[in-house]
Amino acid sequence: GGHQQWVEAVTNSVRQNLGINATGKAYPTFKAMRDDVVNGTVGAAFRSGWNADYPSIASFLVSNYRTGDSANDGDYSNKDFDKLLAEAAAQSSPEEAQPIYNDAQEILMQDLPQIPLWYYSASTAWNPDLKNVESGWLGMPVYTEITKDVN
pTM over the 0.85 mark: no
Q: How far apart (Å, rounded) are the C-alpha atoms in residues 46 and 27?
A: 11
Query: Which pLDDT tens digit goes with each residue over 71-98?
Result: 999 999 999 999 999 999 999 999 999 9
* Per-position DSSP letters for 87-108, written without gaps between them: HHHTSSSHHHHHHHHHHHHHHH
Is residue 147 over pLDDT 90?
A: yes
**Are 117 and 49 contacting, i.e. CB atoms less than 8 angstroms apart?**
no
Name the E strands within the chain: 130-131, 147-148
pLDDT band at 20 (very low <50, low <70, confident <90, very high): very high
Instruction: Provide the pLDDT for residue 92.
Output: 97
Instruction: Convert the pLDDT of each residue in 115-128 to its tens digit.
Output: 888 776 677 788 88
Which pLDDT score is estimated for 9? Answer: 94
Cβ 93 vs Cβ 56: under 8 Å: no
Question: What band does 16 get if pLDDT is binned at 50, 70 and 90?
Answer: very high
**Distance (Å, rounded) from C-alpha 116 to C-alpha 47?**
10
Q: What is the pLDDT of residues 46-75, one digit of tens each?
A: 888 888 888 889 999 999 999 999 899 999
Q: What is the pLDDT of residue 112?
A: 94
Given a cut of 80, whether residue 45 has pLDDT beyond it is yes
The count of other CB atoms within 10 Å of the CB of residue 13 is: 11
Cα 80 from Cα 100, distance rounded (Å):
12
C-alpha–C-alpha distance, residues 72 and 85, integer Å = 14
CA 149 distance to own-chain centroid: 38
* Over residues 6-24, mean pLDDT: 94
